[in-house]
Amino acid sequence: MQPIQAPYPTTRFRRLRRTAALRALVQETTLTTGDLIWPVFLCDGANQRQPVASMPGVERLSLDLIVGAAADARDLGIPAICLFPYTDPGLKTADCREAWNPENLTNRAIRAIKAQVPDIAVMTDVALDPYNAHGHDGLVVDGVILNDETVEALVKMALAQAASGADILGPSDMMDGRIGAMRAALESAGHKDVAILSYAAKYASAFYGPFRDAVGATGALKGDKKTYQMNPGNSDEAIRLVARDLAEGADMVMVKPGMPYLDICARVKDAFGAPTFAYQVSGEYAMIQAAAQNGWIDGEKAMVESLLAFKRAGCDGILTYFAPAVAKLLRG
């Protein structure tokens, strides 16, 4: 693009900023409820609301309440929710077998939501960390996170979620080859319409801490995830990873975290033109909430500005814990 304008004073950029009406007419980027995916946390029991201390305003919900939350999201115009389970520590094992149990918390929640709120899209997380005694996204042997064996486990997990009625699978594990394996298995099992939103460029980030509190993985994690999640100093690698996942059958791709990696969002959208999402992760949410609660920033304005940044960077949608709040604001 080559902008052309007359010199000052013939051109005055402030003319089109003068009123709200003029600003609305020339706004280049907009945020809508259709851009939102709401991540929600599950817990066992009945009528349970468990606040997550490190994520002010976020609660774990039991199955009876998650259905109502899904209905509320649909009524607000939010097109999708993403499920993350808080797994009973007694069910966490080295082989992670609870991950593909048809009766695990996530799969029961999928069925309950699709039975009562069929028109909302249900997305799931495909990774072993909620079920892993070691807290890692993959199987661990002698301190090494195994790749190929983990992919086999993830395929079983993906098939169980698809059979339960999931609309979108979100592989967040960062193992090599998992998208191709899942896509082949889904096709073979007759789940040809189940979409994959790949966590293609997921960085080893300090911004995930509150999420690990929410799913109960903080105490279980041994070591770090740097052998499978990305180095924050790398950008070209993200492009190669996105290219690989699209070539293996991903329908959509994600950059995670979001705000510290807006440059990656822009590069991915520019390079591939594929549906591109960002995850405004727990640490990003917690920073805004904490500052707002202390009166240091206007939380509502910061929320909207942060989400608009993802759209401006080229994202088609955002996973955000702010989804209900911003949807209510957008609907007036």
> How confident is the prediction along the chain (332 residues), in pLDDT tens digits per residue?
888 999 999 999 999 999 999 999 999 999 999 999 999 999 999 999 999 999 999 999 999 999 999 999 999 999 999 999 999 999 999 999 999 999 999 999 999 999 999 999 999 999 999 999 999 999 999 999 999 999 999 999 999 999 999 999 999 999 999 999 999 999 999 999 999 999 999 999 999 999 988 888 777 788 899 999 999 999 999 999 999 999 999 999 999 999 999 999 999 999 999 999 999 999 999 999 999 999 999 999 999 999 999 999 999 999 999 999 999 999 97
25 part of a folded domain: no
135 within domain boundaries? yes
Per-residue pLDDT, 3: 87
**Domain with 250 in it:** 32-331
- Closest-CA residue to 238 (of 213, 272, 212): 272
CATH code where residue 243 lies: 3.20.20.70
Given this model, what pLDDT does residue 223 score? 86
- Is 91 inside any structural domain? yes
Number of structural domains in the chain:
1
Instruction: Give me the pLDDT at residue 262, please.
Output: 98
pLDDT of residue 222: 80
Structure tokens given for 64: 């009876």
Pairwise CA distance, residues 248 & 183, whole Å:
8
Q: Please give the positions annotated as active site.
A: 202, 256
Residue 22 lies in a domain: no
Q: Tell me, yes or no, whether 225 lies in a domain.
A: yes
**Residue 126 forms part of a structural domain:** yes
**What does the radius of gyration of the chain's CA atoms come to, in whole angstroms?**
20
Position 81 in a domain: yes
Q: Residues 267, 197, 175, CA angle at the centre, nearest 5°?
A: 85
Q: How many CB atoms lie within 10 A of CB 181?
A: 19
Measured in whole angstroms, the distance separating CA 186 from the mean position of its chain's CA atoms is 21
Residue 23 in domain? no
Contact indicator for 250, 184 with CB cutoff of 8 Å = no
Give the Cα separation of 14 and 21 in Å (integer).
Answer: 13
Residue 215 has what pLDDT?
87
CA atoms within 13 A on the CB side of 183: 16
* DSSP tag of 50: E
